[in-house]
Amino acid sequence: MLRLENLGCVLGGGRVAALCGIDLTVEAGEFVFIAGRSGSGKSTLARCLCGLTPRIFPGRVSGRIELAGTTLDDLRPWEVVQRVGFVFQDPRTQLFAETVEEEVACGPENLGLPPSEIANRLQWALEATGITDLRRRRTDALSLGERQKVALASVLSLRPSVLVLDEPTSMLDEASALAILERLSRLAADEGVAVIVLEHRTRYIAPYATRLVILRQGAIAYDGPAEPICDEGFCRQFDLRHGALPAPGRAPAGMSSRQTETVASAKGLSFAYRPDAPVFSDIALDVCSGAATVVSGPNGSGKTTLLKLFAGLLRPTGGRVCFGNHDPSARTAGPAAGIAFVGQEPAYLFRHRDVESEYASWQDAGDDGAVPHGLLARLGLGDLRSRHPLSLSEGEKRRLSVAAALAAGPRMLLLDEPSVGFDGYHLDRLLQVLDDYTAKGGALLVASNDPDVLQRDWPCRCDLTGL
Amino acid sequence: MGFIRRVLERAGTAASGLDPRTKVLLLVCISVATLVARGWPKLAILLALALAWTVLASVRTAQRRPRLFVWAATAASAVGLALWAGDVPVGPFVAPVVRMVVLLLAGWAFSRSTPAGELACALQRVRCPKPLVLIVVAARSLLGLLASEVRLAHEGMRIRAGCLSPSRTPWKRLKALRRVSVAFSARLLLRSDQMAAAAESRGFSRPGARSSLRAIRLRLADLVTGVACCGAVALLCLL
């Protein structure tokens, strides 16, 4: 079905060898997981597979990619999309239309299919991804997890024979992630679609994968059965997450003894983007210095909204949020100072042309003496100091934004889905850095639906399920 | 109240179910009439028409409502027209405002009630070249993208202001503004690349006609609306 021969890819004007000597054959009906450390070339491989590099994204591709006996170079772009479907890492960059229905129908419409066939494919794709109830919703009103499902449905509606998904579960809650993988697994088994999933959440690999491929520094380091992924030593060898066993968490007793004062609090908090659709109501939550609080809940439950309310980016429709004695949503710079928020799209925080000066710009403004040093190195960004922040991978962007936010020495740090794009090694590093931050008296509020984050020992939890 | 809402919802559904070509005709008619109309009665009729279309386009729960400033501008136009009707000499000031508001309302109602896919299909049916059709579809997406980027950039500025001390001297402020502009432009370039990739991975580059989920065809309601539009414009221009 899909054959790669000696595939190589050089990015950054010939400076970075992202892929080298990849030989891989994927047969119809196979469910292949591709894992690897952040920056190992997974996303580049996915872009090469569907021809986006070098057609859209710059890069020099060498070697041969063959789809069902035809070389990729011999196919025109619209012929490729009927054979290879690609779900991007960030669903925001994939959606075009205003409503879910239009979005999913967009691909078949471009192919000029008759309306009855478009309607059939639309219905099938919506059911396959479990979003039939979202059919009439506006895409810009969906949560990121819901958008991820829509992006998948919009690619499925093209009925490709090879499906490439770049971290399809990174923004989904566990139930949704399992449901999606279950459906993809059935798609591979029943309809012979070759499914290739690039993923950091290794806990999902063993039950579904027929094969595991691990990339290291742009080359295949392992290609074989998926069972070894359950072995902790194997995961550590390749810096992967090990989801089957509880990862080393932080002691709750130590955390609770550090709690000194309430830094921010919400009382009777309610919010609605539209009067007839409240996101949540009557929430009470205290965020204390020296303590970490994790906010969990299914996609669309309001985790991001809650963090934005604490950051002062939204005004509550009921109740109030206090940061010290101030309302953080008041548009005065002074009272809100001390809150750092790293959202789901951290790149909009960046202003500078390289990683080092970006980090330094946050450091300079921090309190004297309170600035943490060496965070870039601790978060694995030491070798990337000269790179442009926007050229980093998704995980690297998040690490930089967390490092920058911490460098400013905030009293309260708000992190929204901080683990997206993180391998096991960097996730452990991140949690250690955050632990140090709370140990020094910082107040931390994290929203996540990543089971590898939620299973840690968090001293305070806030579950938005059903609120 | 419930009865009125149900009637409005039915009318809204009927209006949004019109053939997109009829909606294009309606938009063109209103725009032309707005530009040629003189005197408060004609402008008042056009404002009422555009307002009615806006209400019908926004009455369904799935639709987004117009922003507050749209309603405020409409109210200000109505007040201006009332003063003008009461022989207060405000015509030279009110007329341009009313024209702007009518065009704004009609444009908003059109974009809300006509999905991009349907519009593209309608343009193809009136023999528009495919590049032009794709430009229209991409322009709609780009407007949304631009709006969301501006919102994110503003959010980023507020977040930075939340934990960093502001630039104190004008020179430093100017430098900060330059950095924001450069970063914003770089992000836009990146997003346009991503958008091109998304377009390509959905087969936008395929030659030949696009199809549409909803088969578009002219019905009796379209004919009635079309004739009424053309007639009304002719009357407004001639009288």
* pLDDT 10s digits, A106-162: 999 888 899 899 999 999 999 988 899 999 888 888 887 888 889 999 999 999 999
Mutation target to probe the B interface, by most B beta carbons within 10 A, among A110, A121, A126, A155 is: A110
Q: Which residues of A touch B148 (CB under 8 A)?
A: 92, 140
Which of A233-242, A381-390, A458-467 is predicted least confidently?
Answer: A458-467
End-to-end CA distance of chain A: 47
pLDDT band at A248 (very low <50, low <70, confident <90, very high): very low
Kindly state the tokens that stand for A308. Answer: 């934005």
> What pLDDT, on a 0 to 100 scale, did the predictor assign at position A271?
92
Question: Measuring CA to CA, which residue among A21, A425, A4, A44 is closest to residue A202?
Answer: A425
Angle among Cα A435, A437, A442 to the nearest 5 degrees reads 120
How far apart CA B116 and CA B220 sit, in angstroms, is 23
Residue of A nearest to B178 (CA): A351
Sequence letter at residue A39:
G
Provide the token pair at A275: 């009067």
- Search chain A and give the residue with CA nearest B203: A78
Question: Dihedrals φ, ψ of A321, to 5°?
Answer: -115, 135
Give residue-wise pLDDT tens across range A2-12: 999 999 999 87
- A281 Cβ under 8 Å from any chain B Cβ: no
CA distances from A35 to A63, A200, A222 (A): 22, 6, 10
- Mapping DSSP onto H, E and C, the string for A14-56 reads CCEEEEEEEEEEECCCCEEEEEECCCCCHHHHHHHHCCHHHHC
Tell me what pLDDT residue A164 has: 93
What pLDDT is attached to residue A128?
A: 85
A–B: how many Cβ contacts below 8 A? 175
Strand order in the sheet with A292-296: A339-342, A412-416, A443-447, A292-296, A460-463
A365 and B190: CB-CB below 8 Å? Answer: no
What residues in A contact B211, CB-CB < 8 Å?
Answer: 108-109, 111-115, 118
- Pick from B163, B166, B193: CB nearest A408: B163
Question: b/e map of A186-197 (b: 16 or more CB within 10 Å)?
Answer: ebbeeeebbbbb
Distance of alpha carbon B37 from the chain centroid: 21
pLDDT of res. A119: 93
Return the H-helix or E-strand segment holding A163: strand A162-166
Angstrom CA distances, A281 to A137, A305, A465, B41, B61, stand at 22, 12, 12, 48, 21
User: Strands (DSSP E) along A315-421, which ranges?
Assistant: 318-323, 339-342, 412-416
In chain A, % of residues over pLDDT 70: 91
- Best residue of B155, B160, B163, B191 to probe chain A, by most A CBs closer than 10 Å: B163
pLDDT at A364 over 70: no
- Would you tell me which residues 12-71 of chain B have a C-beta closer than 8 angstroms to some C-beta of chain A? 61-62, 64
Does the distance separating the beta carbons of A345 and B202 come in below 8 Å? no
Contact A424, A236 (CB under 8 A): yes
CA dihedral A170, A175, A180, A186 (to 10 degrees): 140
Considering only CB atoms, A114 lies closest to which of B121, B152, B211, namely B211
Give residues 315 to 374 of A whose Cβ lies within 8 Å of B: 328, 333, 336-341, 343, 345, 347-353, 362, 365
Within 13 Å and on the Cβ side, how many CA atoms surround B25? 20
Does A215 have pLDDT greater than 60?
yes
The set of residues, in sequence order, having a beta carbon less than 8 Å from that of A353 and lying 6+ positions away, is A388, B182
> How would you classify residue B191: left for phi > 0, otherwise alpha for psi between -120 and 50, otherwise beta?
alpha
Question: What's the number of CA atoms in the CB half-sphere (13 Å) around residue A220?
Answer: 18
Listed residue (A405, A449, A403) closest to A429, CA to CA = A403
Query: Residues spanned by CATH 3.40.50.300 within chain A?
Result: 2-237, 252-463
Can you tell me the mean pLDDT for A328-332?
62
Verify whether the Cβ–Cβ distance A57 to B193 is below 8 Å.
Answer: yes
* Residues of chain B predicted below pLDDT 50: none
Q: How confident is the model at residue A331 (pLDDT cuts 50, 70, 90)?
A: low
- Say whether domain A252-463 belongs to CATH 2.60.15.10: no
- Residue by residue, DSSP assigns chain B as -HHHHHHHHHHHHHHHTS-HHHHHHHHHHHHHHHHH--SHHHHHHHHHHHHHHHHHHH-STTSPPPPHHHHHHHHHHHHHHHHHHTT-S-HHHHHHHHHHHHHHHHHHHHHHHS-HHHHHHHHHHTT--HHHHHHHHHHHHHHHHHHHHHHHHHHHHHHHHHHSPPP-SHHHHHHHHHHHHHHHHHHHHHHHHHHHHHHHTTTTT--S----SSPP---HHHHHHHHHHHHHHHHHHH-
Contacts A92 to B, Cβ<8 Å? 148
Q: Is any Cβ of chain B less than 8 angstroms from the Cβ of A268?
A: no
* Least confident among A378-382, A389-393, B1-5: B1-5
Phi, psi of B88 (to 5 degrees): -80, 130
Mind listing the pLDDT tens digit for each residue in A74-85? 888 888 988 999
Binned at pLDDT 50, 70 and 90, residue A197 comes out as: very high
- ipTM greater than 0.95: no
Burial class (CB in 10 A: 0-12, 13-18, 19+), B208: exposed
B213 touches A: beta carbon within 8 Å: yes
The whole-angstrom separation of Cα A211 and Cα A197 is: 11
B148 CB within 8 Å of a chain A CB: yes
* Residues from chain A contacting residue B114 (CB–CB below 8 Å): none
pLDDT of residue A244: 54
Q: Would you state the structure tokens that stand for residue A340, as one six-digit string? A: 């750092």
* Chain B residues 215-234 with CB within 8 Å of chain A: 215
> Do you find a cis peptide bond into A418, omega within 30 degrees of 0?
no
Q: Which residues are A264's β-sheet partners?
A: A287, A323
Which pLDDT band, with edges at 50, 70 and 90, does A255 fall under? very low
Q: Which has more confidence, A443 or B209? A: A443
pLDDT at A221 over 90: yes
From chain A residues 119-148, the ones with a CB under 8 A of any chain B CB are 119, 122, 136-138, 140
Interface test with B, best of A43, A44, A53, A78 (most B CBs within 10 A): A78
| pLDDT given for residue A258 in this prediction | 59
User: Would an 8 Å CB–CB cutoff place A155 in contact with chain B?
Assistant: yes
Q: What is the pLDDT of residues A260-270, one digit of tens each?
A: 788 899 999 99
Q: Do B206 and A78 touch (CB under 8 A)?
A: yes
A232 min Cα distance to partner chain B (Å): 37
Sign of the C-alpha dihedral computed for residues A376, B190, A102 and B108 taken in this order:
positive
**Over pLDDT 90: what percentage of chain A?**
31
Fold observed for domain A2-237: Rossmann fold (3.40.50)
Which structure tokens are listed for B75? 């109210």
Residue A351 burial (CB count, 10 A) = 22
* Contacts B179 to A, Cβ<8 Å: 351-352
Mean pLDDT (chain A, rounded):
85
Q: Which of B191, B201, B211 sits opposite A112 (nearest CB)?
A: B211
Q: A102 and B194: CB-CB below 8 Å?
A: no
| pLDDT for res A335 | 42
Closest CA to A445 of A316, A341, A322, A320: A341
Interatomic CA distance for residues A334 and B12, integer angstroms: 47
Shortest CA distance from A354: residue in chain B: B183
